[in-house]
Amino acid sequence: MKWLNSSSPGLVLRYTTEHVLSPIGKRYLGSADHPIRPKIAYMFENRDRNTLWWRVSTSKIGDFKRVVRSWCARRARIAFREALKNQGYDELGIPLPDSPKAQTRRLTGSLEILFHPKCVNQSSETLQRDTDRCLEEILQRREKFSNREPNREPKRPRKHSGPSHGQ
């Protein structure tokens, strides 16, 4: 799995084209006898794979109180939804038809938003600007990566032309 990362002083965006289960979902699926396991497995198997699965993680700012972590997460969700809109997507990664930056292809896969402790002291405008820049960078790198991918040939094993050692 290839992750595309983009960071700023306050946050990190991690994107992959694959759909990845959250750590909490993995915890439930990892326990064979957990009572909620069947529900999580069903939800993962039936979740729409033509959309963007995104989440906000406050694990890097775990030293702060819960109220601060949830405040940061809420600000990040608002900023990310706005950044998606600015790039021509709705919150599921589906192109908005009437957007000035109308996209032609969906944004699918998984995206995780992580915080640095500096995010707590950033203004909402700075957070929005950083989120916009990080998302734009990920979209550009995704395009570069997808344009390069079909032209790639599988690596062939090297032919050994030198003398054989050990015989």
The per-residue pLDDT for range 53-110, each reduced to its tens digit, is: 999 998 877 788 999 999 999 999 999 999 999 999 999 999 998 877 767 789 999 9
Looking up tokens 């090297």 gives 158
Q: Is 89 helix (H, G, I), strand (E, B) or coil?
A: strand
Q: Give the whole-angstrom CA distance, residue 37 versus residue 99.
A: 40
What's the chain's length in residues?
A: 167
Q: Give the whole-angstrom CA distance, residue 71 versus residue 78.
A: 11
**Global pTM?**
0.80
Residue 145, H or E segment: helix 124-148
Show the beta-strand stretches assigned E in the chain: 4-7, 11-16, 52-57, 109-115
Res. 25: pLDDT tops 70: yes
Other CB atoms within 10 Å distance of the CB of residue 118: 13
Q: What does the pLDDT read at residue 164? A: 47
Q: Give the whole-angstrom CA distance, residue 150 versus residue 148.
A: 6
